A and B are shown apart, each in its own frame.
Chain A
Amino acid sequence: MKHPFWVSALCVCALSGAARADVVDVGLGHSPRVGMFEIKLGSYKPSMAGSAGEAYSIAFKDQPMLLVQLEFDYQFFQKYGSLGLGISVGYAEKYGQTFLVSDPSKPADERVHLKIVPLALMAVYRLDYGAIHWGIPVVPYTKFGVAMVPWWSGTSTAQVSNTRTGQRQAGHPFGLTFTAGLSLLLDVLDPRLARDFDTDVGINHTYLFAEFNRLNNRLFNKDGYDFSSGYFMFGLALEF
């Protein structure tokens, strides 16, 4: 128990070895792979540098948002790993305390909210050669692309409110996104079931994954809210 990493590695190797005979023929006699669908969750906290960060801190007590994302990748190259084009859409919201305009020291009877819908268009590369041909159940991958973060903020009585100076509390800043992750091929747990899953519904492989995301929202716009962040996401991927 002192070395959980080595224990995990051993388990993965054992599973890999046990399932190897079944996994070797993955790709042979299976339906062709077209793309990947992912559903993932993570804790996301925009950096909100400077005064915007103070606003976020006051309203939401510096707590992160729960981000839910769906991603669809289309794979167009599958010779040495798979290269594809992916689109993702996410949603996160946070509710917090606001204060009276007339006396900012007094809390208002309503709440302020921040809602975001991060969108991204990415090139996706998965090093799944080992999983497909040698039965290694761990697939590293990376993604890089452009992102847009539509956001809006309001109070209990308005989805989008204006500041005292009349600035509308909504926008859609652009940025770049980078992801690096590791996915675990679940087929090794029950290769026969995995094969049935492919035969019945066309799902070639199922993965559990963890990934680190880096969103930079400050490259193209220096003003406004900064939704740049580094955050982890965890989820389930279905390759079909």
Chain B
Amino acid sequence: MLSRLLPLLLVGFATAAQAQTIALTIDGRSDIALGPSDCSSGSFIVTWANTALASTCSGDLELWVTTGSCDIKPGTGDVKFDNIASTTFRTTASGQSSSMRFADLPLFVGGDAGSCGSAEIAQKMTVCGAFLQQRPVTLACEKTSASSSPTLSYDAEPPVAPVIDGVSGLSNALRVSFSPKDEDTRTFQILYAPSGSSADTFVLSSTVTRGTTQATVANLENDKEYEVRVYSKDDAQNRSKTYAAARGTPVAALALGDLCGELKNCGNAGCESTSGPVMVLAVLLLSVLVRGARRKRS
């Protein structure tokens, strides 16, 4: 009899306990990259989502950032957010933490930490969460980690500059082909200026993603030499210290109408001015035809 009842009792306990799961994200993502450019004014907020609201346990939701791995409580050097009150996170499906400045992350605070933006380091930090949850069977309240822990990847190492494979002159434009030399490269910045210009006169032409290996620098003057510079950028928006440079000259190409040289009747457009009235007449004729047929039908 007892052996028959035991599974039923266990299911009953488990249902009563309704295991809570707290999922954490940063701006809806499980991983964000940050670099020195984020240090001055950047901050972030952790979003938590509670998948089962019922619980007889009390106790706040603790959130913190660590350079190590997540435990059920913050360790030495970890940086804590304000606790989320038990009444809030146990009765609401989702919510947000207090805001934390990137400069206050554990990588940059404490004894031998570097300051945000200065050191050329690349390290991951993890956002951890812990709360009291009722265990099945024993019904005891035990500290439990959040089911997901988003990471913050701080990267102050700029990617290696790309390689320019070629520059070809087009009509009022240059086509630049390039390829990355670094796995970290996510985007390419293409800048240009007339040859011999100083560094501060270079103009950003476009930013293209890693999958793109060609870019066109447009609105240039034909028969004038330009210098094109291509930089690499990574996820953390670090720009390569150096750049790939190449020179090219836009050259005008013949239009279709030019291909037959000085011969007559070539490439003449907009020459159908007399055809408009003829078209109107033709449409009128067709409409008369339609009306005639309809009358006959009726």
Chain A residues within 8 Å of B, Cβ to Cβ:
49-52, 54-56, 58-59, 76-77, 83, 85, 98-102, 104, 108-110, 112, 114, 121, 123, 145-146, 148, 153-158, 161-164, 167-174, 176, 219-221, 223-225
Contact = CB atoms under 8 A, between A and B. Distances in A.
B95 interface: no
Contact of B269 (A51, A98, A112, A169): A169
Given A109-B175, A123-B289, A55 B253 contact: no
Contact of B253 (A52, A112, A219, A221): A112
Given A51-B266, A52-B265, A109-B168, A114 B256 contact: yes
27 contacts: A49-B265, A50-B263, A50-B266, A51-B265, A52-B260, A59-B256, A76-B290, A77-B297, A98-B255, A101-B251, A101-B252, A102-B251, A108-B170, A108-B171, A110-B253, A146-B286, A157-B171, A161-B256, A164-B258, A169-B255, A169-B256, A169-B267, A171-B272, A173-B271, A174-B278, A176-B282, A221-B274
Contacts of A221: 271-272, 274-275
A214 B261 CA distance: 30
B4 interface: no
Contact of B266 (A52, A76, A123, A148): A52
A118 B294 CA distance: 29
A155 B274 CA distance: 29
A49 B290 CA distance: 36
Contacts of B251: 100-102, 108
A219 B274 CA distance: 10
Given A157-B218, A173-B275, A76 B294 contact: yes
B85 interface: no
Nearest to B267: A163
B255 A154 contact: yes
A50 B264 contact: yes
A169 B270 CA distance: 9
A171 B257 CA distance: 12
B255 A145 contact: no
Contacts of A158: 171-172
Given A50-B263, A51-B265, A155 B286 contact: no
Contacts of A76: 290, 293-294, 297
Interface string B200-227: 0000000000000000101000010000
Contacts of B223: 102
A123 B291 CA distance: 13
A110 B171 contact: yes
Contact of B260 (A51, A161, A170): A51
Interface in B171-189: 171-173, 175
Given A59-B259, A161-B255, A173 B170 contact: no
Given A99-B254, A100-B251, A101-B254, A171 B293 contact: no
B268 interface: yes
A95 to B, nearest CB: 11
A125 to B, nearest CB: 11
B283 interface: yes
Given A145-B282, A174-B279, 15 more contacts: A50-B264, A51-B260, A52-B257, A98-B254, A101-B254, A108-B254, A110-B171, A110-B175, A112-B259, A155-B253, A157-B218, A163-B266, A168-B270, A169-B255, A220-B274
A163 B276 CA distance: 25
Nearest to A58: B259
Contact of B255 (A112, A176, A220, A223): A112
Contacts of B159: none
Nearest to A60: B256
Interface string B218-244: 100001000000000000000000000
